[in-house]
Chain A
Amino acid sequence: MSQVPIQYFLIVSTIMFFIGIYGFLIRRNLITILMSVELILNSVNINFLVFNRYLFPDKLQGHFFSLIVVAIAAAEASVAIAIIINIYRRFDTINVEDVNEMKN
């Protein structure tokens, strides 16, 4: 297990995080934006667990933090999808550029 250096894990999760940021910036569909957010949260989770395993194997803090992050992600996804379905009912689209009623 400890033959893989910690930096490799961190680099993979960093690249995943910024792919998520990129998708968040370029996509115009609400569900795709939600998927980018899931990617970001997931990469953060990897970091918590890797730090827990490699730097502080005598404690379980990373474990519980990532457990809490997973729960937050579930709550966030369910509320976001409820809002998306409501938006679709009202505007017949989930494109963020067409949903700007509050701007005017």
Chain B
Amino acid sequence: MTTNLLMFILLSLVILVFSFLTIFSRKILRAAVSLLFVLVATSGLYFMLDYQFMAGVQLTLYAGGIVVLIIFSILLTSHINQKFEVPGLMNLVLGGVVAIVGATLAITSILKYPFKMTTEPAIKVNMQEIGNQLMNTGYNGYALPFEVISILLLAAMIAAIIIAKKGK
């Protein structure tokens, strides 16, 4: 067993256990902290794949930004000590059937499919390459999606402010 595999098993155990806790924890603040652990372990997986830039984005935006936003809204809207009621048995069973059937279907098709790697030589992923492709309008360029996503973010932020503003 190599160190890589060991590290992968550790990270995926953290991811799976804390995803379960996010769903099943009956105190909402604990669920949010479990979500934080899931997101940090995911950025560990990105480091394993050698994608440092995406791991950094994951840490700053997801673990730093979105979780803080969620915790803020929990503090504004919920009582910390209040526990959720247990969901109905019918609900639990039907949801579990949906999840397990879906997961089994997806995993069997993953295990059957023969994944083929491309024969092109790998490129070196560094900040300069990412920036060049993100701002390029030619082949392999992503300038248009970048601009669209900027406009979308701006619109969403303005919409959020207007919705949350005290009305009238």
Q: Which residues of A contact B (CB under 8 A)?
A: 1, 3-4, 6-12, 14-23, 25-29, 31-32, 34-36, 38-39, 42, 45-46, 49-50, 52-60, 63-64, 66-68, 70-79, 81-86, 88, 94
Contact = CB atoms under 8 A, between A and B. Distances in A.
B69 A81 contact: yes
Given A19-B16, A85-B77, 4 more contacts: A57-B123, A79-B163, A81-B69, A81-B73
B87 A27 contact: yes
A3 B4 contact: yes
B80 interface: no
B86 to A, nearest CB: 10
3 shortest interchain CB distances as A-B pairs: A75-B156, A57-B122, A23-B23
A86 B164 contact: yes
Size bracket, chain B contacts: 35 or more
11 contacts: A22-B23, A23-B22, A26-B87, A31-B73, A38-B62, A53-B50, A55-B116, A59-B123, A64-B145, A81-B73, A82-B163
B62 A73 contact: yes
Contacts of B58: 45, 70
Residue among B28, B51, B66, B142 with the highest chain A CB neighbour number at 10 A: B66
Given A19-B20, A32-B28, A71 B69 contact: no
Given A29-B28, A35-B35, A68 B145 contact: yes
B61 A50 contact: no
Interface string B139-167: 01010010001001100110111011000
A85 B99 contact: no
